[in-house]
Structure 1
Amino acid sequence: MKNPWKALKQYLKLGQKSENLQASAPEDPKTSILPPEINFPPEETVTLPETVPYLLHLQSGRPLKIPENQLTITLGKTSPNNTPDIDLSDVTNAAVVSRKHARITVVGEQYYIEDLGSSNGTYVNNILVKEGESQDISSGDLIAFGKEDKVAFIFKLPDQRRQEKNKFEQQFQDLKIEIDQQKRQKDLNMVTSSRYFQEVKQEITEVDVDEFWS
């Protein structure tokens, strides 16, 4: 029979040999579970406010902070006789925004928005806010100036922002764990299916244990 010591030494060296196989084995793009290299993107490409309400401008992805410690916040475009709290002069499709377009009012913990007689109107979740009337808004509501959402925002509150961040971070971690597990399984399959591994495995099965220890 084959030398049992040789088989045992081969078996003990399997770990080192496996590392060499992983380092030198070419990647088969047809059978690879993962792409050759994974570059995780940054968790966020835009820094969003953490502790204050804000309007997320959908056309640019830019957050516009709602000023703190103010009970009324005006939205519109700057002119010689008008300086709104939130200036929309430079947003895409700014032509649909009036100089004095809308006003947000804070009552306790509730927020309301009203149209200030704008030319193109103010919409909350695609429903027109009539001039002179206030519409309550909640986190996640869509606010649009003019039809067809040419200038549109998502209203966000701090608690909602933190919940979404925590949810995103958990999903991101779960994704990294899943990819790591898939890569480990791929590496294991590559080693165990190698010719070298099969030869060593065969030698081990042929070792007579009683003779080996006698």
Structure 2
Amino acid sequence: MQTTRFVTQNAIELRHTQTCTSIELSRNLLVIHMGKLNGRIPLDVDLSNFPNSDMVSRLQVRIQKEGNIYFIEDMRSAKGTYLNQKRLATGQRYRLYAGDKMSFGEGDLISFVFGFF
């Protein structure tokens, strides 16, 4: 039996491609910080427990919401951030679309698909 999913777009979904684990975040968040828990920088998404988290910096990326548009920015990560397999320039914002794949470090060892539900 096929499962039907009704899209209400009340939340952001980050789906970890290696484990198919989904992270749900409120669309009311204007800024989302992703990285590894470190005690100094507050994170909205802690990636410490995901496989290959050694590819992730303490503060890897910031996702910002402006109106209904989302942007991603690499926060001077050590091993880089990739959006749809293209490396992001540090400190520059890039628009995020549903279905975009963000990867941390080379080789797609830790990656997430951005979406809404």
- SS of the residue corresponding to residue 100 of structure 1 reads coil
Q: TM-score of the superposition, structure 2-length normalised?
A: 0.89
Unmatched 5+ residue regions in structure 1? 1-39, 159-214
**Which residue of 17, 31, 52 maps to 1:72?**
31
Distance 1:106 1:80 in 2: 25
1:65-110 deviation digits (Å, cap 9, x = unpaired): 2333221110001112123111101001000001111000001111
Distance 2:45 2:67 in 1: 21
Larger radius of gyration: 1
Give the AA of the match of 1:43.
Answer: T
Runs of 4+ in 1 over 2 A off after TM superposition: none
**Which residue of 22, 26, 43 maps to 2:3?**
43
- Structure 2 counterparts to residues 174-189 of structure 1, below 5 A: none
User: Number of matched residues?
Assistant: 114
- Root-mean-square deviation (CA, aligned residues, Å) is 1.8
- Structure 2 counterparts to residues 109-124 of structure 1, below 5 A: 109-124=68-83
Q: TM-score of the superposition, structure 1-length normalised?
A: 0.50
Alignment correspondent of 1:54:
13
1:3-32 deviation digits (Å, cap 9, x = unpaired): xxxxxxxxxxxxxxxxxxxxxxxxxxxxxx
Q: Is the 8 A contact 1:67 1:85 kept in 2?
A: no
Q: Does 1:142 align with 2:89?
A: no
Give the AA of the match of 1:137.
Answer: L
Structure with more contact order per residue of length (Cα contacts < 8 Å, sep ≥ 6): 2
Alignment correspondent of 1:11:
none
Classify 1:50/1:132 alpha carbon distance in 2 versus 1 (closer, same or farther; 3 Å).
closer
Q: Is the 8 A contact 2:9 2:116 kept in 1?
A: no
Fraction of identical pairs, as percent = 32
- Structure 2 counterparts to residues 92-171 of structure 1, below 5 A: 92-158=51-117
